[in-house]
Structure 1
Amino acid sequence: MLEHFKDFSDIPELKFSFLGGTLEMYNGVNWFKFEEDLAGTTSYSGQGIPRYFTNMLQDEKGNIWIGSLKGVYKFDGIKWVHYDEKDLVSEKVLKLLIDKKGTVWAATEYGISYQLGDEWIDLNKKRGLAGTTVYNLELDPKGRIWAFTRNNLRFSGISMIEEGKCIPYDKHQTGLKGTIEQLIWNNGEIIAFSDDGVSLFDQQGLWKQFDKKEGLNESVFSKIVQDDVGEIWLASHKTLYKYNDGNWMPLKEPEDWVVLCMMVDKTGAVWIGTDKKGLFKYQEGNWSSYSIENGLIDNEIEEIFEDKKGNIWAITKKGISIVSGK
C-alpha cells in the first residue's frame, strides 16, 4: 500500500506527515492524528488547532510551520505558537514560503504577511501587489519572491518582491489570460505557465508570450516540468514539447489525450499520466505506453511517483500499478 504524503523528519524522534490535509505525528513507534485538540502520548494543553492545513514547511532550525485557514502555526518540538488575524493581514493562509534568509512568508486571502523578528509585516494591493488574494508564492534563484494574485477568483497578475520593493505585472503584461500556475527558472529567465499559454520573462524585465513562431501551435496546456539537468517539458492536450533555446519542439503527433500528471525520472525519461489513455513514457526519441490492455490496473492516472529503486508507481482510483525500473 502506498502512503502518499510529505514527511518531515529532522526533529529528533518526531516525524510529521501531511496526509489529505490532516497533520499526523510519528514518535518512533506509533502515528498519532491531530484532531481538534493535540493529543497522543504527550498532551499539548489546550492548543486546539484546525484539522485541515493548506501546507507545511520546516525551517533550518527544525521548526515546523503550518499554514491553515485559521492562521499560521509554529512548532519547535516542545510548544505550539499560533499567529492569527491579530498578527496577519488575514488568517486564511493559502501558502507558506521560507526564503534564503529564513524569513517566513504567508500568502493570504487579503495579501502577504512576512515575519520580521517578532513582528509580521503586511503587503497588499496598495503596496504593490497585482491583486487582492495571493494564492501562491515562489522563490527564484536570485532570492526574489513571486506572488501570484487574483481578484474575485479571477487571475489578476503576478508581483516580484525584492529587497522590500514590490513590482506588479498584471495579466495583460504577462500576455496570459489564464491563471499562472507555475514558474520555471531557466538560465536567468523565467517561464510562466498557465493552462492557456506560456510566457517568457527575460533578463531585461520584459514579458513575451510564446506562439506559433516559437513552435507552439496550440493554446490549451496541461502540465510543465523541469528535470534535474534543466530540460523543460510541456504537455498540451495533443502534444509533448521540449524547450530548446527559445523554441518549443513537438515530440509527438496529435493524440487527443488529457494529461493529468507528468514527471521526469532519474534516467531522464518523461512519464505522462492521462485521463483515459493510460500511462506514456518518452525517452530519447522513443515512445512506449501502458494501458488496461497490457496490464495497467486503470487508464485514469491521478499521480506518478518514482521510488528509490527506480520503479514507477501509477496511482489510480482503482489501485496502484508499478512499472519496474529494471
Structure 2
Amino acid sequence: MKLINVRIGLFITTALLGLAALPIGGKISNTEGLGNDGRVLAQTTNDNSPFYAPNPPPPRKDPLPAERARQEATPTKADFRISSLQADYSGDLWVGSWQGLSRINPNTGRVVARINLPNYTLGALSQDKVGRIWVGTYEGLLRVDPRSNEVTAQNIALPSNRVLSLLIDKRGYLWVGSDRGLSLISPDQGLLMTTLQDLPGVSANALTLDQKGQLWVGTLEGLVQVDTASALIRHRISSVPGTVVQALATDNQGMLWAGTPNSLLVIDPNTRQVMRSITALQERNVTSVRFAKDGSVWVGTDNGLVKINPSTGDLLGQISGLPSSRIMSLATDVGNKLWVGTSEGLAWVSLTTGVVKPHLAFIRERPADY
C-alpha cells in the first residue's frame, strides 16, 4: 500500500512540473534567447519575435574628470573676515570672525580660547551686565559663558535669524537688530520679550544709545529712535544724505555719528538735524565708527582707516600696513591698542608708538617683513 502511495505521489509531482513548463496560450520560441544569426531575441509567445542587435557596452567614462578632480582636491579658500570685536570686563578681547569665535589676551596677543561654532557666520558681539557674551550670527543668536567658554543658550526665536547688530541698554536688556527689524531679549532667561517688525527702513544695521538712554537704529532709510521702555518708535530721521546708515556711535557731547556709504554725518539727537558732514570722509564708504578715550574718533572705511579730530573734523592720520584696507570692525583702548578687524584678518595699532602689527593667528599669510 505504501509503495502505491509513493508511486501516485511521484506521478502527480511529475504531472505538475510538466504543466508548469508549458506556456499559456502558445509556446516560447528559441528558449536559448538567440536567433540563428546571433541576434538577441525578445521572449514572446508567438513566432513573430522582434530582434535587437547586440550593442557593445558604452565606453568607460572617468567618474571624476580632471577639472573636477582639481576642484575637489583643492581646499576651500578660508575666509578671514573679522566682523566684530568686543572687549570684556576682565580685559580680554573677543574676536568674531567668519571662522568662529575666539578670546585673546590683548596685552600678549595669546589666544585664550576658541569657541567651536560650526556652520555659524558671526555678525555682531555684545556683553551683558553680568559678563556673558552674546553672539549674533547669520544663523541666529547665541549666548556664551566666559567662565567655561561654552554656549549656554541658542535657538532663541527671532523674526529673522540674520543678526546684524547687538546692544545692551541701560536696564541690562539685549536689543537684537536683524534684517527684519528689532527684538528685545531678556538676557537671564534668554527669552524674546517683544519685537518691532514695522521698523521704518526694515533692516537694523547699527545700534547706539544717546545720553538719555534711548535707542537709535541705523536702517536702510535713515535713523529711527526707539523708546527702550516701551519699544515704541519715538522719532524718525529720513532726510539722511545717503539714506543707508550702516555705522553708529555717540560722542562725549551726545552727538550721533552716522556712517553711510558716502559720508560721515554728525547729528543732534534732540533737534534731529544733521549738524555737519565730515569733509575728509565725503564720498567715502564708512563701515565703522569708534571713539577713543582721548576723545578722537577712529573711522573705518572700505578703503582704509583714519583718525579724525571730532571738534574740527580734521584728518589726524591714516593707518597703513593693515591686512586689508577694507575695515569691518574696531575696538579702541584694549590693551593700550586699537584693534582692527579687516576683510583679510586682525591687526592692532599701538596707541603709544603707532606701530601696526597683524595678529598671526587671524591672517592668511605671514607678512614677508614680519
Bucket of the pairwise TM-score, normalised by the shorter protein: 0.5 to 0.7
Pair 1:93 & 2:93 matched: no
Equivalent of 1:174 in 214, 218, 240: 240
Equivalent of 1:306 in 323, 328, 349: 349
Q: Count the aligned residue pairs.
A: 255
> How far is the alpha carbon of 1:114 from its aligned partner?
0.8
Matches within 5 A, 1:1-326: 18-23=96-101, 34=116, 36=118, 50-76=119-145, 77=148, 80-84=152-156, 87-116=157-186, 118=189, 119-126=191-198, 129-149=199-219, 155-162=220-227, 163-164=229-230, 165-171=232-238, 173-202=239-268, 204-208=270-274, 210=276, 216=279, 219-222=282-285, 226-232=291-297, 242-243=308-309, 245=311, 247-249=312-314, 260=326, 304-307=347-350, 310=353, 312-315=355-358, 319-320=366-367
> How far is the alpha carbon of 1:242 from its aligned partner?
4.7
> How far is the alpha carbon of 1:317 from its aligned partner?
6.4
Determine if contact 1:241/1:248 at 8 Å carries over to the other structure: no
1 CA distance for matches of 2:151 and 2:263? 46
Residue 287 of structure 1 is matched in structure 2 by: none
2 CA distance for matches of 1:160 and 1:302? 34
1 CA distance for matches of 2:251 and 2:143? 30
TM-score (norm: length of structure 1): 0.58
Determine if contact 1:59/1:102 at 8 Å carries over to the other structure: yes
> How far is the alpha carbon of 1:202 from its aligned partner?
1.9
TM-score (norm: length of structure 2): 0.52
> How far is the alpha carbon of 1:66 from its aligned partner?
2.0
Code of the aligned partner of 1:312: V
Three-state SS of the structure 1 residue aligned to 2:251 is strand
2 CA distance for matches of 1:79 and 1:217? 42
Q: Which 5+ residue runs of structure 2 have no aligned equivalent?
A: 1-81, 105-109, 318-323
Larger radius of gyration: 2
Q: CA 1:73–1:186 in 2, change beyond 3 Å: closer, same or farther?
A: same
Q: CA 1:233–1:125 in 2, change beyond 3 Å: closer, same or farther?
A: same
Q: Which 5+ residue runs of structure 1 have no aligned equivalent?
A: 37-49, 150-154, 253-257, 274-299
Compare the two structures and name the one with the higher strand fraction.
1
Three-state SS of the structure 1 residue aligned to 2:293 is coil
Report percent identity of matched pairs: 16
1 CA distance for matches of 2:207 and 2:332? 26
Determine if contact 2:206/2:246 at 8 Å carries over to the other structure: no
Determine if contact 2:87/2:93 at 8 Å carries over to the other structure: yes
Three-state SS of the structure 1 residue aligned to 2:279 is coil
Q: CA 1:7–1:145 in 2, change beyond 3 Å: closer, same or farther?
A: closer
2 CA distance for matches of 1:321 and 1:99? 44
2 CA distance for matches of 1:57 and 1:217? 30
Residues 79-135 of structure 1 deviation map (CA, whole Å, 9 limit, x = unaligned): 722233xx3222222222222221111112211111247442333353xx2222222
Compare the two structures and name the one with the higher helix fraction.
2
2 CA distance for matches of 1:20 and 1:30? 18
Q: CA 1:202–1:139 in 2, change beyond 3 Å: closer, same or farther?
A: closer
1 CA distance for matches of 2:138 and 2:86? 21
Higher relative CO (Cα under 8 Å, sequence separation at least 6) belongs to 2
